[in-house]
């Protein structure tokens, strides 16, 4: 018996390269089929297939197709060998009508085309009461690139075993799933259904009339001890997409509602030269994605330096609407005293409800900038004494000469001076002895932070300063301030003197603005060391150690 099988295998191995396809057939497992119901297409080749597959790309023009699975078999019966290769795929039509599955070709052999009938569903059948789909679109009237929320709800009235749910389709539009699907239960006409909800963001890219092909469900449910195959499909929604008006200017922003607000820190209209101001804009819009939210341009003002800070974009779905929000912050540094008026901020948008251009506007704001009382002020030109050129004044106006003569010191004065120096010396000795005995104080803001971590941060800051890398220096400074000091950069700057704030402003300008400015990072590093010595007197400065 073993010898006979070996002989059959040898004959099979020798004859295998000579085989070829002698027949190619195509068939479906059901005909007619319902709209949205999957059927199985089988293509079978009798004979040897050498890595070839039928081209099924033409099916995707009229049908929804799944992946192709391949299987092969070989039989030896009474010394006669036969081989066959089978390709199978799931096919579904979203529309009713008579369709033709084209012929396929493999190794020169062709199959016969198949005529298949797709029947529309009856919404009153009992199957539709077990499983059905509801779809909706808000808003239903759209402009090009306006975002709409497409909601699909799948109602299942029996125990679900397995399921397959396709995505909606729309030509010349982008469809994006929003968040995770939600599952809940609803009572419909006295019957309890398990409801699966999915939301999609739809943005048409061209104007015209389009249709949204609904999702299709195919699965199996349990009824008693039986497994039953079921399918369902939602309704097709027709959409009229309007073009962008020819007279519109600016970034295209179609929406039902746009709101622009701002926040100032500090909120006072009177500020000191060199004191940073944070201006935060909040732009909220309906029916717009976060990627469509335009940047807010802040007009430049003489006497101020303006630097962009952080920008955050978010979107969400609420009450059948897409809501997006842009939060943008700017740092404003006043440079010299005076009264300034910051111009209004005006943002155009198109109101899709009244079909008219509108503007989101922030009014102009007047700010008074005063001199820093802690900084010495140079006398103005009017205060400088003028030298008279008149010959009469030079002859008659003679300034009195004041002669200063040092007073002679007595023996008592010298004794008092010597006693003061002795007391000062004794005080310094006592302070030095006490400071050596006292434990080192921990920094003010870094409670709970490991010394090794802080030392590593300071080392990075030192290396970046010595290399002159402005970007790395600013990142290291932010990381050091937020970790070691447990402060924001804004709060940390408020504790520094004007010179350091101006140097940091120059550093930010070189990083965030188009105007490049040279920043001496090593000099700035030394100034930060000096500032730390003053703030942390009596403590050991980490920056000084590593410098």
- Summarised one tens digit per residue, pLDDT across range 475-518 is 888 888 877 777 777 777 777 888 888 888 777 777 655 445 56
User: Which H helix or E strand runs over 12?
Assistant: helix 2-15
CA–CA separation, 325 and 313 (whole Å):
6
Q: Is the pLDDT of residue 541 over 60?
A: no
Contact 151, 168 (CB under 8 A): no
Query: What are the residues whose beta carbons fall under 8 Å from the beta carbon of 534, sequence distance 6 or more?
Result: none
CA–CA separation, 509 and 307 (whole Å):
6
pLDDT at 154: 92
Strongest mean pLDDT among 24-33, 408-417, 422-431? 24-33
3-state SS, one letter per residue, for 374-438: CCCCCCCHHHCCCCCCCHHHHHHCCCCCCCCCCCCCCHHHHHHHHHHHHHHHHHHHHHHHHHHHC
What are the chain's domains? 2-119 (2.60.40), 126-242 (2.60.40.740), 254-370 (2.60.40), 451-546 (no CATH)
CA–CA separation, 529 and 445 (whole Å):
16
Q: Cα 527 from chain centroid? A: 37
Burial of 409 (0-12, 13-18, 19+ CB in 10 A): exposed
> Which pair of tokens denotes residue 168?
């909606």
**Long-range residue pairs from 359-365, CB within 8 A, at least 24 positions apart, any chain:** 360/258, 360/259, 360/260, 360/283, 361/260, 362/260, 362/261, 362/262, 362/281, 365/269, 365/341
Query: Which residue(s) pair with 23 in the sheet?
Result: 46
b/e burial code for range 437-460 (CB count within 10 A of at least 16 → b): eeeeeebebbeebeeeebeebbeb
List C-alpha distances in Å: 422 to 179, 431, 435: 78, 14, 20
CA–CA separation, 203 and 175 (whole Å):
7
Q: Where are the beta strands (DSSP E) in 205-344?
A: 208-212, 216-223, 226-233, 237-242, 254-255, 258-265, 270-272, 277-286, 304-318, 321-334, 338-342
pLDDT digits (tens, 9 = 90+) for 427-471: 776 766 665 554 343 344 554 566 767 777 777 888 888 878 787
- Return the closest-CA partner of residue 323 out of 472, 149, 75: 149
Top pLDDT among 51 and 330 is at: 330
3-state SS, one letter per residue, for 51-102: CCCCCCHHHHHCCEECCCEEEEEEEEECCEEEEEEEEEEEEECCCCEEEEEC
Query: Which residue(s) pair with 109 in the sheet?
Result: 106
Q: Is the pLDDT of residue 331 over 80?
A: yes
Entry pTM: 0.51
Q: Is the pLDDT of residue 474 over 90?
A: no
| Percentage of the chain lying above the pLDDT 70 cut | 76
Name the residue with tokens 């192709």. 68
Q: Cα 361 from chain centroid? A: 26
CA–CA separation, 489 and 473 (whole Å):
13
Contact 246, 144 (CB under 8 A): no
Distance spanning both ends of the chain, measured CA to CA: 89
In which band, very low, low, confident or very high, does the pLDDT at 401 lie, cut at 50, 70 and 90? very low
**Dihedral in degrees, nearest 10, Cα atoms 479, 481, 484, 487:** -120
**Long-range residue pairs from 266-269, CB within 8 A, at least 24 positions apart, any chain:** 269/365, 269/366, 269/367, 269/368
Calculate mean pLDDT across residues 405-417. 58
């Amino acid at each position: 018996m073993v010898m006979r099988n070996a002989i059959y295998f040898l004959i099979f191995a020798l004859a295998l390269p000579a085989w070829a396809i002698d027949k190619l057939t195509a068939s479906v497992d059901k005909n007619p089929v319902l709209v949205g119901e999957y059927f199985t297409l089988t293509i079978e080749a009798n004979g040897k297939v050498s890595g070839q597959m039928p081209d099924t790309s033409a099916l995707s023009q009229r049908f929804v197709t799944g992946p192709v699975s391949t299987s092969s078999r070989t039989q030896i019966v009474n010394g006669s060998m036969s081989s066959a290769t089978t390709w199978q795929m799931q096919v579904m039509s979203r529309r009713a009508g008579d369709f033709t599955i084209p012929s396929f070709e493999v190794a020169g052999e062709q199959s016969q085309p198949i005529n298949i009938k797709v029947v529309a569903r009856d919404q009153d059948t009992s199957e539709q009461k077990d499983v059905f789909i509801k779809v909706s679109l808000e808003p239903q009237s759209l402009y090009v690139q306006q975002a709409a929320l497409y909601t699909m709800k799948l109602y299942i009235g029996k125990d679900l075993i397995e399921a397959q749910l396709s995505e909606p389709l729309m030509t010349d539009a982008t469809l994006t799933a929003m968040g995770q699907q939600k599952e809940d239960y609803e009572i419909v006409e006295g019957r309890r259904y398990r409801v699966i909800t999915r939301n999609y963001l739809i943005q048409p890219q061209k104007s015209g009339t389009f249709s949204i092909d609904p999702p299709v469900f195919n699965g199996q449910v349990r009824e008693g001890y039986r497994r039953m195959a079921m399918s369902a499909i939602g309704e097709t929604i027709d959409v009229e997409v309007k073009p962008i008006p020819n007279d519109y200017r600016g970034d295209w922003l179609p929406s039902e509602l746009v709101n622009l607000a701002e926040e100032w820190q500090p909120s006072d209209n009177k500020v000191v030269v060199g004191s940073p101001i944070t201006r935060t804009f909040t732009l909220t819009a309906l029916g717009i994605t976060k990627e469509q939210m335009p940047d807010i341009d802040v007009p430049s003002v003489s006497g101020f330096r303006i630097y962009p800070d952080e920008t955050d974009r978010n979107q969400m779905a609420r009450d059948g609407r897409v809501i997006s929000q842009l939060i943008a912050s700017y740092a404003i540094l006043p440079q010299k005293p005076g009264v300034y008026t910051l111009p209004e901020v005006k943002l155009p948008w198109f109101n899709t409800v009244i079909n008219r251009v509108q503007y989101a506007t922030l009014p102009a704001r007047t700010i008074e900038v005063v001199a820093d009382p802690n900084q010495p002020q140079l006398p103005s030109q009017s205060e400088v004494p003028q030298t008279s050129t008149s010959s009469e004044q030079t002859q008659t106006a003679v300034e009195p000469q004041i002669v200063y003569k040092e007073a002679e010191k007595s023996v008592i004065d010298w004794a008092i001076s010597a006693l003061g120096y002795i007391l000062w010396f004794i005080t310094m000795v006592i302070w030095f002895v006490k400071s050596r005995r006292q434990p080192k104080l921990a920094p003010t803001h870094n409670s709970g932070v490991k010394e090794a971590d802080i030392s590593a941060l300071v080392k990075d800051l030192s290396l970046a300063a010595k290399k002159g890398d402005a970007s790395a220096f600013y990142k290291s400074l932010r990381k050091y301030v937020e970790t070691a000091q447990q402060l924001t950069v804004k709060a940390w700057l408020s504790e520094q003197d004007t010179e350091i704030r101006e140097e940091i402003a120059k550093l930010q300008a070189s990083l965030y603005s188009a105007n490049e400015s040279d920043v001496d990072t090593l000099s700035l590093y030394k100034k930060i060391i000096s500032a730390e010595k003053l703030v942390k007197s009596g403590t050991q400065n980490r920056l000084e150690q590593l410098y």
